[in-house]
Structure 1
Amino acid sequence: MFSKSIRRNFLLQIIIASILLIFVFSSFLYFYIEKSVYDEKRNELLTYAKNISANRSVTELGSDTTDTYLKISVEVIKLKKYPTNNGLDIYETTKQKHTYLTLIYPFDIGEFSFLKITKDITPTKHLLRKILRYILIINVVGFGLVIIYAVALSKMLTKPIKSLSNKLSNMNEHLIRPVRVEELPEEFEPLGETLNHLILRIQNFVKYQKELFIGTAHEMKTPLAVIKLKNQVTLIKKRSDEEYIEAIETTNKAVDDMNFIVSNILNIGRQEGAQLEKPVEIDIIKFLRDKTNDFKLIAENEGKSIEMDFKPDGFMAMLQVGLLNQIVQNFIQNALKFTPVDKKVYIRSSQDDFGLLIEVIDEGCGIDESEDLFAPFKRQGNKSGVGLGLFLAKSAADALGAKINIKNRTDGTSGAIATLQINSKLSCIITSKR
């Protein structure tokens, strides 16, 4: 069974693969050398046999010729059966620790006479054995070098993973730091960016959850204090029916305020559930156009108007529609809330380096840019509300991997610009049909 360690598995696989490669390469090398040497010896005997056969005489061969020096012996033999390989036959024999290569070559076909040429190839055999030993020694050294190289390579390749693992294992809510993507190999950059996105979401979650709990307690405390104070005043002395009714109405209003706060907090839970919904493919431009048309009638009833300018003509994306709706709806509602009568709200989209840029621009009083408007229970201006809308929008944007921001207009007109940037890595552009 394989170990769970990536490095051990990689180390084992690279060692096995390298050993097999060395073994196969060495085997091919040795067999090639052996075949080349034997082919040379066979050609040597064949050439010698052709020369003798051409001269048609073997009587002049003496002990003082080069044949003895070359350790070659020649004799004429007669065979009853003609060899099948064009009259040729070559074989190897061993006698008294000596190895001989013998060639049977036709000499006089009519009389079934053949030349039997034998050469002592013992030195060649010794040479091949020596070559084999050297190859084995080289293989052993090569195996050692492969193991050293595999260990170093596996350590180098798993170093980024180990670094990321150590960084993540030592993290807690107080020591969360982004991963430095520029220090990672190119192959690990997407993983580093994903981790940084996750870390950012965790940081925002921890930060805003603390503020949410504190803000919830503070917001609930106020209506409860009003109820208690009103009841205490009512119980001091006997009151008229009208005064009791007034006290009850005050209590009911405080209860309604608490119910409104609880409903908004429940929306946070619903949104977290929406983050787990299966993404679907939608045309964001069409979605924006439909959503804007829905709010046009509301704007007209309030004496305001909405203008839209969407580019490109289509922009497909895989995302959770509920989260996108949470952001866009909050932007438009806030823009209409803070825009005075007879003023306009502009909704437009365009492409930028990040992806699709969506802007909702109002002609209201602007914002205080020094405050974190995305924190829970943060209110701007004197308009009604709990202050959880932008908090929910921010959470939805983080879940989508999008960027969200609010800033004041810089074109000389009072108002604010709420922007949403959707990452183009999860999207594609649809060109208009003409």
Structure 2
Amino acid sequence: MNTKSIYKQFYQKLILATSLFITTLSFIFYGYTKATIYEELKESLVSDAQLIYKISKSKDANKTNFNIITHTGITVDLVTIDNLSEISFETFKNGEDHYVELLYPFDIKSKKFIKIVKNINSSREMLTKIFNNLLFLSLGGLILIILYAFTVSKTLLRPILQINKKLSNMNENYLTQIQKDTLPIEFHPLADSINSLTNRIETYVKFKKELFVGAAHELKTPLAVMKLKNEVTLMKKREPEKYQDTLKLTIKQIDDMNKMIGSILDIGRAEGAQFEKPTEIDLVQYMQRKTNDYRMLSAQKKITITFYANVNYYNTLLQVTLLNQIIQNFVQNAIKFTPEEHTIAIRLEKQKDVTTITVTDEGIGIDESIDLFAPFKRVGNESGAGLGLFLAKNAADAMGAKLYLENRKDGKSGCVAKLMLYNNLVCKLS
């Protein structure tokens, strides 16, 4: 496969298109000029013939009447021609000279016509000079076009080469932002997309490393506790209750490890869900239905869950599995940290360019200085693997959405979890 560079393709096409344009324009100009000159010649001869006709009709036609036109290079005569009833205009060549001939009706009945012949060598020479000048200008223009094409090609491709050089030097250990200040405004959306992707890669690499180290630590700790407890228990004979306590501790640690392993497996399933095909749903109806499901989870703690939307329906195209992971994590955390007989509020607000889903609880709040979206970050002393928000963040990134966690600003205790869905290629808002 013979692959050409975009630089060569651009300047070649620019030269070809501009050259064709100039050539076509030159021929059009030359043709228009030629037609104008011949039209003026015809009008001039017709005017002369009309003058002769007028004078000859008022007097007897004689040689003197037909020689009133004394322009240089013009001969006038009265001729008889059959099979002609209207004005005739034609050009011809005699030797090295060029002529134009006009036959103007003088007396149709007697088939007499006024014949005017004019030498047009000067007009032909002028057209030749015009053609030569146009040819010279076209050749000069072609040279300028070639220089212009090379210059413009380099100028227009410079931002692409700059971005390409920046990307080619990147790897997972060296991720930098593309500076938009030196780029034309047309490349700003591309730079924003690349910078956003770079941030996602950087966050992904960082969190993956933390995930592997954290998983090893989280699994190693309960194993060490079980091993130590069992070794101590087996050092001497003990009462059956002591062995039961050790076995119960071992079972509890195994259950915690199973939860941890389940969360890690959820990460793998979530990465697979990133390739889920977006489907169209009524987001308001979907959130109403999920809120009813969440009320079953909150019933044990007598927590009231409310739902509010500023629109009655809203059709949108998104990945439902990923959305469910995010909302479910928000609500489960809210239920976990909200005291009994309190309230959780779920809100959906549709605006022009973004739709926001918030889950507001009445819990203990969060430490905003901690990145809770990193793996194995926990709030308070509640149990859990600390991977829920990490999973939610990955799902939001795959959807092209944004997640935010903050404390309530209305003076009450609690946390606000916010999901912002933007109108982009992945999360398409209708």
Q: Work out whether the TM-score is over 0.5.
A: yes
Instruction: Please give the alpha-carbon distance, in whole angstroms, between the structure 1 residues aligned to 2:107 and 2:312.
Output: 95
Q: CA deviation at 1:235?
A: 4.9
1:300 counterpart residue number = 299
1:415 counterpart residue number = 414
For the residue of structure 2 that corresponds to 1:105, the secondary structure is strand
1:432 counterpart residue number = none
Instruction: Please give the alpha-carbon distance, in whole angstroms, between the structure 2 residues aligned to 1:387 and 1:347.
Output: 23
8 Å CA contact 2:52, 2:66 repeated in 1: no
8 Å CA contact 1:351, 1:357 repeated in 2: yes
2:171 counterpart residue number = 172
**For structure 2, which runs of at least 5 residues remain unmatched after alignment?**
none
> What amino acid sits opposite 2:412 in the alignment?
T
1:97 counterpart residue number = 96
> What amino acid sits opposite 1:296 in the alignment?
R
8 Å CA contact 2:48, 2:69 repeated in 1: no
- Larger CA deviation: 173-182 vs 373-382: 173-182
- Larger CA deviation: 332-341 vs 113-122: 113-122
Q: CA deviation at 1:427?
A: 5.2
Instruction: Please give the alpha-carbon distance, in whole angstroms, between the structure 2 residues aligned to 1:138 and 1:174.
Output: 57
Instruction: Please give the alpha-carbon distance, in whole angstroms, between the structure 2 residues aligned to 1:134 and 1:357.
Output: 68
Q: Deviations over 1:5-31 (max 9, x none)?
A: 333333233322222222222112111
Please list, as runs of the form range in 1=range in 2, the aligned pairs for 1:150-299 lying within 5 A after superposition: 150-181=149-180, 184-237=183-236, 246-299=245-298
Q: CA deviation at 1:195?
A: 2.1
1:59 counterpart residue number = 63
For the residue of structure 1 that corresponds to 2:173, the secondary structure is coil
Q: Deviations over 1:316-366 (max 9, x none)?
A: 321111111111111111111111122222222324576222221222222
Instruction: Please give the alpha-carbon distance, in whole angstroms, between the structure 1 residues aligned to 2:228 and 2:76.
Output: 132
1:33 counterpart residue number = 33
> What amino acid sits opposite 1:10 in the alignment?
F
Fraction of identical pairs, as percent: 43
Q: CA deviation at 1:428?
A: 4.8
2:20 counterpart residue number = 20
8 Å CA contact 2:11, 2:149 repeated in 1: yes
2:309 counterpart residue number = 310
- Larger CA deviation: 36-45 vs 239-248: 239-248
8 Å CA contact 1:52, 1:58 repeated in 2: no
> What amino acid sits opposite 1:120 in the alignment?
N
For the residue of structure 2 that corresponds to 1:314, the secondary structure is coil
8 Å CA contact 1:197, 1:401 repeated in 2: no
Root-mean-square deviation (Å):
2.7
8 Å CA contact 2:329, 2:392 repeated in 1: yes
Q: 2:74 aligns with which of 72, 97, 103?
A: 72
Instruction: Please give the alpha-carbon distance, in whole angstroms, between the structure 1 residues aligned to 2:170 and 2:144.
Output: 39
- Larger CA deviation: 384-393 vs 409-418: 409-418
Q: CA deviation at 1:58?
A: 4.5
Distance change (3 Å), C-alpha of 1:309 and 1:75: closer
Distance change (3 Å), C-alpha of 1:315 and 1:111: closer
8 Å CA contact 1:277, 1:320 repeated in 2: yes
Q: CA deviation at 1:138?
A: 1.6
> What amino acid sits opposite 1:92 in the alignment?
T
- Larger CA deviation: 212-221 vs 235-244: 235-244
Please list, as runs of the form range in 1=range in 2, the aligned pairs for 1:63-142 lying within 5 A after superposition: 67=70, 70-79=72-81, 81-83=82-84, 86-142=85-141
8 Å CA contact 1:315, 1:427 repeated in 2: no
Instruction: Please give the alpha-carbon distance, in whole angstroms, between the structure 1 residues aligned to 2:231 and 2:253.
Output: 15
Q: CA deviation at 1:168?
A: 1.7
Q: CA deviation at 1:249?
A: 4.2
8 Å CA contact 2:172, 2:202 repeated in 1: yes
> What amino acid sits opposite 1:253 in the alignment?
K
Distance change (3 Å), C-alpha of 1:113 and 1:335: closer
Q: Deviations over 1:29-48 (max 9, x none)?
A: 11111111112222222222
Distance change (3 Å), C-alpha of 1:102 and 1:62: closer
Distance change (3 Å), C-alpha of 1:76 and 1:347: closer
For the residue of structure 2 that corresponds to 1:92, the secondary structure is strand
- Larger CA deviation: 210-219 vs 170-179: 170-179
8 Å CA contact 1:302, 1:341 repeated in 2: yes
Instruction: Please give the alpha-carbon distance, in whole angstroms, between the structure 1 residues aligned to 2:348 and 2:106.
Output: 98
Counterpart check, 1:7 vs 2:7? yes
What TM-score do you get using the length of structure 2 for normalisation? 0.89
Instruction: Please give the alpha-carbon distance, in whole angstroms, between the structure 2 residues aligned to 1:428 and 1:264.
Output: 30
For the residue of structure 1 that corresponds to 2:116, the secondary structure is strand
The aligned length equals: 424
Q: Deviations over 1:123-150 (max 9, x none)?
A: 1111110011111112222222333333
8 Å CA contact 1:354, 1:421 repeated in 2: no
- Larger CA deviation: 16-25 vs 172-181: 172-181
Instruction: Please give the alpha-carbon distance, in whole angstroms, between the structure 2 residues aligned to 1:392 and 1:62.
Output: 105
Q: CA deviation at 1:184?
A: 4.3
Distance change (3 Å), C-alpha of 1:72 and 1:340: same
Q: Deviations over 1:193-248 (max 9, x none)?
A: 32232222111101100100110111111122123323433554566666555544
Counterpart check, 1:47 vs 2:47? yes
For the residue of structure 1 that corresponds to 2:356, the secondary structure is strand
